[in-house]
Amino acid sequence: MTRETVAIIPARGGSKGVPGKNILRVAGVPLVARAVSAARATPGIDRVVVTTDDDDIASTAAEWGAEIVHRPAELAGDGASSESALIHALDELAARGVEVGVLAFLQATSPFIDVAGLAEAVRRVTAGEADSSFSAIETYGFLWRATDQGAVGINHDATHRPRRQDREPHYLETGAFYVMDADGFRRAGHRFFGRIAIVEVPEETALEIDTPGQLELARATAPLVSAARTDRVDVDAVVTDFDGVHTDDTVGVTSDGVEQVRVSRSDGMGVRLLREAGIPVLILSTETDPVVGARARKLRVDVLQSQDDKAAALRRWADEQGIPLARIAYLGNDVNDLPALDLVGWPVAVPEAHPLVLAAARVVLDKPGGRGAVRDLAERVLRARDIRPGLRMGAADASPKEAP
């Protein structure tokens, strides 16, 4: 039997500092899903497993491609160690016929797991260069300990303050990942044993989430840390707001009080390409405006108007279509879109969206609302299916008279 390299992610449901922490979102992706995605993207990892006592965490992790080990309650309390959860998961995998040679222990509370660093840790253990390895950042900080007699220097002599370039660096664990020889881990009962290797990772990836403040910090910094552009949006349906998405969120008013908006022919072509690819499109709006219905008819897509509860309307539509919410992209721009953005697998924002929408988005488009945003999203959806649309236009989109 081939021995596998398996990533195991413990994610219990009973967090008290941040309730429901492991399925809360950073940049539109649940924390446990971010860990699953990092593991799946890492060369050398054969299988990704989430061990949990929580059905919602299990469902989310499974949607993102993880295998589930259901953890008993006695191993999911505040006093249970991560090691006990790992050993239980290894036992469960063995019962399923999976022989683990290398164990990668990832923590969902680290939202920015460095894939390159994780791959290097796996390589070192697999190659026999180390028995265990862990992620860390280099630090030259002066550490102190508070005592009854006053502060005492830990890693320095308080009477001597050498320059940074004259000091030896220390390394601080990030908590993001630990990679170990599985047999050695079982014998030691601990993640540190034998030859221990430090794998240095970028400092910006070192954040751990244990408090609400750290969660908000992760959400605020995610666009900077996760700088890679997402060119592919792998979904089975697209749902959009109307104002600020199909339009530029401005309204013209004629002298007789009639409101007018501008839409993009490019967006119309984007919707048509989605239709031709068999991808359902829905316009979901809180407004009751004839222009929304007229545009939907022009585009030949579903429309739901006067929806004060967009999330509920989206759930109903998804159920009717038989499409899981995790397989839907929702494109929005303002705070009334937040409940719907929080439901779907791909929350998407136009670049000029409200800051809270930008923070909730998994993808921020390049094109603004009313000027190519819908086409931008459509092309990313088609690209995920390796569809390269031609340039031919149909009569409906070539018409010189565009719907208002």
pLDDT surpassing 60 at residue 227: no
The domain 237-398 having CATH identifier 3.40.50.1000: the answer here is yes
Tell me: pLDDT of 228 over 60.
no
Question: Edge-to-edge, what's the strand order for the sheet holding 47-52?
Answer: 67-70, 47-52, 4-10, 100-106, 170-181, 132-139, 196-200
Q: 393 or 130: whose pLDDT is higher? A: 130
What mean pLDDT do residues 159-169 have?
Answer: 85
Residue closest to 113 by CA, chosen among 50, 201, 181, 185: 201
* CATH 3.90.550.10 boundaries in the chain: 4-140+167-211
Whether the full predicted model's pTM is greater than 0.85, yes or no, is no
Which part of the chain is CATH 3.40.50.1000? 237-398
Architecture category of domain 4-140+167-211 in CATH: Alpha-Beta Complex (3.90)
Q: What is the pLDDT of residue 232?
A: 92
CA dist 18 and 216 (Å) reads 11
The model's confidence at residue 390, banded by pLDDT at 50, 70 and 90, is low
Beta-strand ranges (E) seen in 272-323 are: 281-284, 302-304
Positions of E strands within 196-345: 196-200, 237-240, 252-253, 259-260, 281-284, 302-304, 328-332
State residue 160's pLDDT score. Answer: 85
pLDDT tens digits for 40-52?
999 999 999 999 9
Alpha-carbon span 136 to 162, nearest angstrom: 23
pLDDT of residue 250: 85
Q: For the segment 269-311, what is each residue's pLDDT rounded down to a tens digit?
A: 999 999 999 999 999 998 888 889 999 999 999 999 999 999 9
Average pLDDT, the chain: 91
Assess whether pLDDT exceeds 50 at residue 149: yes
Query: Max Cα separation, the chain?
Result: 85
**How many residues comprise the chain?**
404
Mean pLDDT to the nearest integer, 30-58: 96
pLDDT at 251: 76
Structure tokens at 48: 């990704």
pLDDT at residue 229 in the model: 61
pLDDT cut 90: percent of the chain above it: 75
- 399 has pLDDT over 60: no
